[in-house]
Amino acid sequence: MSGFGRAIVAGRIAATPGQGGAAWAVLQWVLGLREFSDDVWFVERLTAQQVVPAGASLEDSDNARYFHAVMSRFGLSDRAALILGEGAETVGPSAGHLREVARDARVLVDLSGVLAWDSLTSRIPLRLYVDMDPGFTQLWHAVIGEDVGLAGHTHYATYGQTIGRPGSRLPECGVTWFPTLPPVVLEQWPVAGPIRRDAFTTVANWRSYGSIEHDGRSFGQKAHSFRGLAHLPTLTATPFFLALSIDPEERADLELLRRHGWGVGDAGRLAGSPDGYQRFVQDSRAELGIAKSGYVVEPTGWFSDRSACYLASGRPVVAQDTGFGAVLPTGEGLVAFGSAEEAAAIVEFVMGDYQRHALAARAIAEEYLDSRKVLGTLLRQIGAIA
């Protein structure tokens, strides 16, 4: 397939080695775009502070080992590069070779604006910024004054369905946003086999960064959402299990979860690679999806790329309500909740006719989240395809 020509995808995979879900969030775009072009490149740029262990050369780093493993696993090694800074050190093609690649590229897909390398990208005609953290991205830029990489792009997409729409209280940051949903490559995520972990599960980072105060409201992390739902396991006999990335110093929160009956395991051990993450998702009975509290405080319609994987696997999703019901069907296969009491009732509802909800889950993924449809729509919006 020749498609629209060469594409470059930029994102974070090696910056946080050992996070299989974060890798999949990027891989869905790289692998999905291969349906439209046979010349898709992946580029990741690290700062010196991101190299692990500190002081290691890029080639000898944990980042490089993880990068090699993921790229090899998905057949991407011949079109992938890991770059340190301005290209003094690279894994894969040199910085000079990448500039030659970029000269003939037609589309840049910059996930979360992480590339920030004008000398490489400025001549690419179509440069798409994808906001994967709606609300926080806009607040960092407009309220905190953080550089989130908005400059230098021709088009802007966001997982926030309401940003820039009437009623939204979030800054638009001077750009026009296209709403989009997280794509899932259905061939990579087939309907799962037997349930091996008979629980409603999820994979989560307890917190990623600090809360942001804006407009009299606090935009917080999953830690804040979980605390309000901690008693959920006491309301139903259905078990819950978390693959959780949490600082060991947060002992009080871990004790709170366990005291109320949550099963908790280490996300790095259970879902540290793309394959491990997929096994964890597909072994589960269903997902209990918890959102950052900021997504709930300002309901942007954000929908999780992780939940998309559960749905594609034919695993029902009971997800904290962020307003996604405006763009996705809810009630069968995917059901939204507001409180712990609502979540408990919905879990029992799903368990009461599990097979119907499992079939509906896959149907939602096929109709609304299929990478061919999601990316096809975006590519048409930016003028890459007719």
pLDDT at 3: 79
User: pLDDT per residue over 314-336, tens digit each?
Assistant: 999 999 999 999 999 999 999 99
At 241 the three-state DSSP class reads strand
Q: How far apart are CA 258 and CA 250, in angstroms?
A: 13
Mean pLDDT for the chain overall: 97
User: pLDDT per residue over 339-379, tens digit each?
Assistant: 999 999 999 999 999 999 999 999 999 999 999 999 999 99
Q: Parallel, antiparallel, or unpaired: how do β-strands 80-84 and 89-91 relate? A: antiparallel
**pLDDT of 19 above 70:** yes
User: pLDDT per residue over 281-296, tens digit each?
Assistant: 999 999 999 999 999 9
Burial class for 260, CB neighbours closer than 10 Å (0-12, 13-18, 19+): middle
At 202 the three-state DSSP class reads strand
User: pLDDT per residue over 75-125, tens digit each?
Assistant: 999 999 999 998 989 999 999 999 999 999 999 999 999 999 999 999 999
Confidence of residue 211 (pLDDT cuts 50, 70, 90): confident
Confidence of residue 10 (pLDDT cuts 50, 70, 90): very high
CATH architecture of 197-369: 3-Layer(aba) Sandwich (3.40)
Confidence of residue 215 (pLDDT cuts 50, 70, 90): confident
Mean pLDDT throughout 245-270? 95
pLDDT at 209: 82
Mean pLDDT throughout 286-309? 97
Q: How far apart are CA 365 and CA 235, in angstroms?
A: 29
| Lowest-pLDDT range of 133-147, 179-193, 208-222, 290-304 | 208-222
Q: Looking at the chain, which residues constitute the CATH 3.40.50.2000 domain(s)? A: 197-369
**pLDDT of 253 above 70:** yes
Confidence of residue 55 (pLDDT cuts 50, 70, 90): very high
Pick the CATH number of 6-183+371-381 from 3.30.300, 3.40.50, 2.120.10, 1.10.10: 3.40.50
Is the pTM higher than 0.95? The answer reads yes
Among residues 246, 198, 201, 240, the alpha carbon closest in space to that of 222 is found at: 246
Mean pLDDT throughout 260-273? 98
What share of the chain in percent tops pLDDT 90?
A: 95
Q: How far apart are CA 165 and CA 13, in angstroms?
A: 31
Which residues share a beta bridge with 337? 320
Confidence of residue 208 (pLDDT cuts 50, 70, 90): confident
Which of the 8 DSSP states describes residue 101? H
Specify whether the CB–CB gap between 301 and 321 falls below 8 A.
no
User: pLDDT per residue over 161-207, tens digit each?
Assistant: 999 999 999 999 999 999 999 999 999 999 999 999 999 999 999 98
Confidence of residue 210 (pLDDT cuts 50, 70, 90): confident
**pLDDT of 2 above 70:** no
Locate 143 and state its tokens.
């309220």
**pLDDT of 1 above 80:** no
What share of the chain in percent tops pLDDT 70?
A: 99
